[in-house]
Amino acid sequence: MANTILGSTFMLLGCLAMVSANNTYSNPILPGFHPDPSCIFVPSWNDTYFCASSSFNAFPGIPIHASRDLQNWKLIGNAISKPDMLPRLATTVKHTSGIWAPTLRYQEDTNRGHQKSGGGKGRFWISTTLVFDDRASDDLSRWDNFVISTDDPFDSDSWTDPVHFQFGGYDTSLFWDDDGQVYVTGSHEYKVWPGIQTATIDLQTGQTGPWENPWNGTGGLAPEGPHIYKKDGYYYLMLAEGGTGLGHMVTMARSRGIHGPYEPAPHNPLLTNANTTALFQTVGHADLLQDTHGNWWAVALSTRSGPDFKNYPMGRETVLTPVTWSKGDWPIFQPVSGVESGWKFSSESTLSEGEGPYIQAADHLHFPPNSALPLHLVHWRLPTNDTYLVSPHGHANSLVLRSSVLNLTSFDGISTRGEGQTFIGRRQTDSLFTYTLDVNPSNLHEEEDEVGVSVFLVETYHFDLGIVLLSQSDGADTSPGIAPFFRFRGMSGVPVTETLFPFPPGVSINTPLSIEVKALNWTHYSFAAGPRDARHLMQTYGFARGDQLSWGFTGTLVGPYATTNGREGSENGAFEAVVGNWTYIPQGQIIN
């Protein structure tokens, strides 16, 4: 079965290489943990498209991708790249907390004389919310809304400190009217407040005007994700409804004035895959943009879960679909599928700017001296200081991890109380992949010292293969004390039974090892380890199902961790684990 899937997948991707000839492309355009997309086209920045997406508790936060052709997307920065921008991200509680639904917008400033090299005279803006999801819906402290901005999205450090504003909700979106007045629109469950709210906003101070309730959708669950567009004399208000599950949909209304009244589109919902057998489900939370030819497109989130909604470990991803929007009429969206035919694409596909990788690229990371961590590597919440060392003295071309007291399950599965976890990972961006990492475990010295690799969704959903020191019984064939083991264990809402494996003959704590994780088919991961210099001796120590890692708002990350597993008396930095030769090989997308 696995070979059949691989064969058909590669055949499909081979056909898609002829995109310029037939305008056919594949979804998702941003695979993996990239939900709640907001995308814009900026002609004055070399006809470049930019997309922002939600990051929840991951840091750096709000990844920014750019493209010249809507198909090949490159990570160019992270809008939240400095811990002091949002220090409270370290103490969020619950996996559904963190940064929700950024809206990215660009405002040209014709009065500015300065122009960035390769860019325009305007400014990029993001409005978003830091959510503390353990607090009550009517507790205003649950929602920390703010705006940030930059005149150069290719420089992560250029984003301003947040300007906070008061709003009892989330999914905020900025809109500039023709007279220059700026409005912010956001959403909240209307059991607490009316669902959609709009007000004027001063972007320098965060001061807002009176809030108004323009429209609450068609009656679907949780009207949210509002965006306002102005076209042909109408203000169009687009929403997500139905919740972010199988009932997710896109709806719209319009008005001659921004304050309303708003008339619903007669063909609502405009976009949904609800009540279909499609692989791509939960389609919603859309944004609209025009391309270099003036054609309209929509981006939205979707899960490759099928209608049973069980196996979707990569979570909510970003998809693209063409939209027909005639003058004075309502937009018509093409349904989302794995292979679509759209408008004519630009022939320009390469993007020379930006330091991050293309979304479909493999990893071959060697952490050379005097280099920084790659842009696409992330932590869960804020990293503790001096925990991730790139090629320190004596460990050239390696990454050194200083252990945390907490393991990946943390205190209670929902919070670190600001103490941090030593983990660094990259998003799983392929249905099928192989990830390998060289690990030197020789610095483990006390019981429960552990270094390993995890496929991590959130603190209560992760599977780990670790090298751990444990006590061994005093028996005929063993000596008292501690010994190294391979340990496979996990969490899938509740703990999964762990298994222990003694080191095989000829392998010791001083043997350089490699750990391998594979998404070996559509539904299963395998976890293996063995001597670095004798890969043929690698053994498989465990399997995890994709549906055991399918839950919530995020998507899977894969990467190393180091911990003392809460050992009494231990402190952060109790030992250092040396890793290297970080390799991630994409091996296929299941899109059909």
What is the CATH classification number for the domain harbouring 368?
2.60.120.200
Domain contains 146 = yes
In the chain, what is the straight-line distance between the N-terminal and C-terminal CA atoms, in Å?
15
pLDDT bracket for residue 412 (50, 70, 90): confident
Specify the number of domains making up the chain.
Answer: 2
**Calpha distance 244→259 (Å, rounded):** 27
Strand 557-563 to 450-458 pairing = antiparallel
Q: The tokens 């479909």 sit on which residue?
A: 360
Q: Is residue 61 part of a domain?
A: yes
Identify the pLDDT of residue 344: 83
Give me the amino acid identity at 545: R
* Alpha carbons 237 and 226: distance in angstroms, whole number: 7
Q: Are 430 and 304 in the same domain?
A: no
At 394-410, the pLDDT tens digits run: 999 999 999 999 999 99
Q: 6-10, 93-97, 261-265, 579-583 — which is least confidently predicted?
A: 6-10
Q: Residue 545: its pLDDT value, please? A: 98
- Which of 224, 363, 450, 576 is catalytic? The answer is 224
Whether residues 265 and 142 share a domain: the answer is yes
Q: Are residues 63 and 131 in the same domain?
A: yes
Domain-located, residue 346:
no
Set 36, 69, 151, 317: catalytic member: 36
**Which sign does the torsion angle of CA 299, 305, 337, 221 carry?**
negative
* DSSP 8-state assignment for residue 358: B
Tokens 């407040």 found at = 193
Whether pLDDT at 234 is above 60: yes
Q: Check whether 491 has a pLDDT greater than 90.
A: yes
CATH number of the domain within which 334 lies: 2.115.10.20
CA distance 473 to 297: 64
Report if residue 348 sits inside a domain.
no
Residues 156 and 79: beta-carbon distance below 8 Å:
yes
Residue pair 289/40 in contact (Cβ under 8 Å)? The answer is yes
Of residues 4 and 424, the one with the higher pLDDT is 424
pLDDT of residue 191: 67
Q: Do 174 and 221 reside in the same domain of the chain? A: yes
The verdict on 158 and 223 lying in the same domain is yes
Q: Is 391 left (phi over 0), alpha (psi -120 to 50) or beta?
A: left
Angle at 108 between CA 319 and CA 231, to 5 degrees: 60
CB atoms within 10 A of CB 20: 14
* Residues 404 and 313 grouped into a single domain: no
Q: Which residues of 427-455 are buried (b: 16+ CB within 10 A; e: fewer)?
A: bbbbbbbbbbbbbbbebbeebbbbbbbbb
Residue-wise pLDDT for 60-87, tens only, equals 999 999 999 999 999 999 999 999 999 9
pLDDT digits (tens, 9 = 90+) for 498-544: 999 999 999 999 999 999 999 999 999 999 999 999 888 899 999 99
Does some domain include residue 356?
A: no
Domain identity same for 377 and 464: yes
Amino acid present at 284? G
Distances (CA, A) of 222 to 124, 189, 219, 298: 29, 6, 9, 21
CB 315 within 8 A of CB 554: yes
Residue that wins the pLDDT comparison between 382 and 192: 382
Confidence of residue 345 (pLDDT cuts 50, 70, 90): confident
DSSP code for 262: P
* DSSP class of 10: H
Greater pLDDT, 222 or 189: 222
- Is residue 314 located within the same domain as residue 247? yes
Q: What is the mean pLDDT of residues 121-126?
A: 94
Between the alpha carbon of residue 484 and those of residues 440, 467, 503, 528, the distances in Å are 13, 7, 6, 16
Find all residues with CB under 8 Å of 468, minimum gap 6, and list them: 444, 448, 449, 450, 452, 484, 485, 486, 487, 565
Whether 405 is in a domain gets the answer: yes
CA–CA dist 338, 350 (Å, integer)? 23
- Distance in angstroms (rounded) separating the CA atoms of residues 79 and 269: 32
Nearest by Cα to 511 from 581, 582, 444, 583:
444
> Where residue 121 falls among pLDDT bands split at 50, 70, 90?
confident
CB atoms within 10 A of CB 235: 21
Known catalytic residue at 224: yes
Write the single-letter amino acid at 295.
N
pLDDT at 262 over 50: yes
pLDDT, residue 348, reads 78
Same domain, 474 and 515: yes
CB 228 within 8 A of CB 183: yes
Task: Find the mean pLDDT for residues 191-206.
Answer: 90
Of the residues 284, 308, 341, the one at which a domain ends = 341
Low-confidence winner among 125-139, 246-260, 275-289, 338-352 (lowest mean pLDDT)? 338-352
What's the chain's Rg over C-alpha atoms?
A: 24
Q: Do 419 and 305 fall within a single domain?
A: no
Instruction: Fill in the amino acid letter for 247.
Output: G
Q: Are residues 418 and 504 in the same domain?
A: yes
% of the chain beyond a pLDDT of 90? 86
Same domain, 86 and 47: yes
Last residue of a domain, one of 309, 341, 373: 341
Is 357 part of a structural domain of the chain? no
pLDDT of residue 1: 33
Report yes or no on 454 lying in a domain.
yes
Which residue, of 341, 373, 402, is where some domain finishes? 341
Give CA angle at 208 (207, 211), nearest 5°.
160
Q: What mean pLDDT comes out for the span 138-149? A: 95
Closest by CA to 327, choosing from 227, 229, 230, 231, is 231
Model pLDDT, residue 480: 62
pLDDT at 14 over 70: no
Q: Does residue 458 have a pLDDT over 70? A: yes
Concerning whether 36 is annotated as a catalytic residue, the answer is: yes
| Residue 349 pLDDT grade (very low, low, confident, very high; cuts 50, 70, 90) | confident
Calculate mean pLDDT across residues 137-162: 95
Q: Which domain holds residue 262?
A: 2-341
554 CB-side CA count, 13 A: 28
> Rounded CA gap, 372 and 25, in Å?
34
Whether 12 has a pLDDT exceeding 80, the answer reads no
In three-state secondary structure terms, 462 is strand
